[in-house]
Structure 1
Amino acid sequence: MSTPTSWDRDPIKAFREFVATTAFAETGRRLPADGTLRIPSAASAKIYNFMFANVAGWMIEQGLTFSTVTHADLARFIGRTTKGKLILNSKIAYRYLRLLERCYEHLDVNPNPAQLAILHIDRAHMTRDDAGRTLSDEQLVRFFAALPAEAPQRRTSTPFEGWKRRRDRAMQVVMALAGLRVSEAIGLLMSEIGRQQALDGSIVLTITPDEKHDTSHEHTITLPRDGADELLPWLAERETLAIPGQFVFPANAAGARMTRKTVYVQMRATFERAGMDLARSGGRTLRNTFAKQQLDNGASPDDLKDVLGLALERSAADYKLTRVKPDPGANTDDKG
């Protein structure tokens, strides 16, 4: 298994091997329409390799290694100038950092130095390729109406047939109503679920970095009654199924961890059933929608930082300015 230090001796070779695998595709922000992960084309791989070689060469010049470079070092890389002008414009700089973020994400490095560099640079002047899309109230209703349904009963069916559909349904509701990242949902642990419902029917989730690669800070979030009404029956069924382990939403009866690909495919199917555009359908859209609701209800950047588990108040302010944008197709079809 690759580790950050295993990339130090020959980072260019390590990256070249990484980019030629579906593991690289797993770190992408978008899933192909058919849900199949594919390695980059030869032309794309050539560009990725060229970019990584540039930053790797700079690291060597600076006496740095892949495993020890910090977000401050990466900020120096993208901030280089010649004759008083930036060598990399903001859009290209972001692409470099995003490429490195994928590498460190693949290697389970937390905190991710490239991700921290993205948080610290002036994103108000940066063009993001994946500007935040949100669902309108009407679209959110359509999304909930399109959630996975019970499996049809057959004469030979067992009492627990279709449990994965009920798992997916509960997980998607929790993601939408608690603003969880995909990594937070698939890494959600039984110990993080509050054991008592409040008088209003809500329960508290305590999200920790455990089993969640890109969760920066521990935080708590209140899951409202509608979410609790989906989650608690699933937890009861999970107990009846005697699924081992701590994952709230396990991949199988053995209690294994779900993959992001599985979540993306199942969520994509919900958006498709809801009749929404699939260009950006996914957990990010649900998280953006949750964040927008918090802001519409008067949350400050500091409040938003807390409920989303962000590292800095500034990153919450940036979220308000650049990530949460009205869905241009609010009255027709959508994604995120």
Structure 2
Amino acid sequence: MVTPSLFDTDPVGSPHETAFQEWLAARSAAGTLREASSMAVYRDMWNGFTSWCLGQSPRVTLESLSPADLDAFKAARYGIKSSDLSLSPRHALRLVRLIDHVLRHRCAMHDLPPSTAAADWLLAHPEIRYAEAASADPPPEFLSASEAKHLILFLSSARPRPGASSEGRGQPLTWQQLRNHAAVGLQLGAGLAPGDVRALAIDAPTTAGGRVADRPWKIAVPGNGNLPPRETPIAPWAAELLKHWLQVRAELGIPGEQLFPSTRTGKPWGKESHYRCARELLSQAGLDSAEGGSFRLRHTFALRQLRRGTSVEQVARWLGLEVEAMNKYTRVLIAPADVV
């Protein structure tokens, strides 16, 4: 049964409908939306939103949509008893997520400035944002913008800066310390999980085709039985740190197939040793915490990429996650900030 419209305006052919169709086609092509029943639910939800937008005076366009408009939309739907038209907190969350996904896809597809109206609205309504959050599924821990900038400066201090004098640099880092800095840098600057870092092969970084000669710009992460292999971009500051680590490793002649070995003989890095090294480094940076561990860095990468305007589907591919698993991030979008 088709959901009846709240208004008489026909959404077919409107820019709203075009944006939805483009998003739906992209999801279908990526294989992340296959069920006809799910498509029908999304279409009904979007048609209700579109009809409301086109029924306003003046009309609410995708460019002009604001958190205040979403407040008005929620108010127009509040208290309606019909189960398919009411806007309960859980239904409101699903609908605003849909609006956010469609708007972000539209902006990315047509090279438009990111639209954050839906994300901003969710930030202002925690009762909606956490409508599906259970006590066993708390929001992910992540670094604030100031903490992320502080950590970037701390990690980047491990590599020599052009034109800087040798005085004031302090004691040079050991190769293990430099390895730790580069490994933690990839968690924050490329969104890698600890297991991803240990699994990286020596030839995982790609330098060819980058904007800066000899600087890695993406890295290949192998599959692990549960997830397929993938590639993810590296933030420039983390790429410079990785480049320095590769140079030092080559100078020392450290063998082995792993990008980050445990010993000078190339022995693979163990889980416990890696955990201790990452924890100690974060403590040295003043970011020691019993909550989140180094996974906070991966979560920070994901949240800041989403806030930057990167599509949920793209960030999911970089992280090696199913799109549905991104809900924990879209619930907790942070304030605008430059990507790390």
**TM, length-normalised to structure 1:** 0.51
Cα deviations across residues 174-199 of structure 1 (Å, max 9, x unaligned)? Answer: 11100001000011112221132512
Deviation at 1:202, TM superposition (A): 5.2
Report the structure number with the largest CA radius of gyration.
Answer: 2
- Name the aligned partner's letter for residue 325 of structure 2: S
Structure 1 residues 263 and 149: CA distance shift in structure 2, 3 A: farther
Structure 1 residues 150 and 231: CA distance shift in structure 2, 3 A: closer
Counterpart selection for 2:329 from 286, 297, 320: 320
| Counterparts of 1:133 and 1:214, CA distance in 2 | 26
| Counterparts of 1:137 and 1:150, CA distance in 2 | 21
Cα deviations across residues 23-60 of structure 1 (Å, max 9, x unaligned)? Answer: xxxxxxxxxxxxxxxxxxxxxxxxxxxxxxxxxxxxxx
* Aligned counterparts, 1:279-318, within 5 A: 279-310=290-321, 312-316=322-326, 318=327
Contact 2:204-2:259 at 8 Å conserved across structures: no
1:295 counterpart SS class: helix
2:206 counterpart SS class: coil
Cα deviations across residues 100-147 of structure 1 (Å, max 9, x unaligned)? Answer: xxxxxxxxxxxxxxxxxxxxxxx9454336530111110012223444
Contact 1:131-1:325 at 8 Å conserved across structures: no
Contact 2:230-2:320 at 8 Å conserved across structures: yes
| Counterparts of 1:326 and 1:203, CA distance in 2 | 25
- Name the aligned partner's letter for residue 295 of structure 2: R
1:272 match: 283
- Name the aligned partner's letter for residue 204 of structure 1: K
Counterpart selection for 1:167 from 179, 189, 209: 179
Counterpart selection for 1:208 from 222, 229, 237: 222
Contact 1:146-1:273 at 8 Å conserved across structures: no
1:177 match: 189
- Name the aligned partner's letter for residue 189 of structure 1: A
- 1:142 is aligned to 2:153: no
- Name the aligned partner's letter for residue 142 of structure 2: T
1:127 match: 135
- Name the aligned partner's letter for residue 288 of structure 1: H
Contact 2:279-2:288 at 8 Å conserved across structures: no
| Counterparts of 1:326 and 1:128, CA distance in 2 | 22
| Counterparts of 1:165 and 1:263, CA distance in 2 | 12
**TM, length-normalised to structure 2:** 0.50
2:291 counterpart SS class: coil
2:176 counterpart SS class: helix
2:147 counterpart SS class: helix
2:203 counterpart SS class: helix
Deviation at 1:320, TM superposition (A): 2.3
Structure 1 residues 237 and 137: CA distance shift in structure 2, 3 A: same
| Counterparts of 1:191 and 1:150, CA distance in 2 | 22
- 1:229 is aligned to 2:266: no
**Which stretches in structure 2 are left out of the alignment for 5+ residues?**
1-130, 160-171, 336-340
Deviation at 1:309, TM superposition (A): 1.1
- 1:194 is aligned to 2:206: yes
Contact 1:174-1:227 at 8 Å conserved across structures: yes
Contact 1:147-1:270 at 8 Å conserved across structures: no
Contact 2:304-2:334 at 8 Å conserved across structures: no
| Counterparts of 1:313 and 1:161, CA distance in 2 | 40
Deviation at 1:168, TM superposition (A): 0.6
- Work out the number of aligned pairs and report it: 192
- Name the aligned partner's letter for residue 328 of structure 2: Y
1:262 match: 273
Structure 1 residues 227 and 146: CA distance shift in structure 2, 3 A: closer
1:34 match: none
Structure 1 residues 161 and 144: CA distance shift in structure 2, 3 A: closer
Contact 2:156-2:241 at 8 Å conserved across structures: no
1:221 counterpart SS class: strand
| Counterparts of 2:323 and 2:312, CA distance in 1 | 6
| Counterparts of 2:297 and 2:222, CA distance in 1 | 20
1:246 match: 257
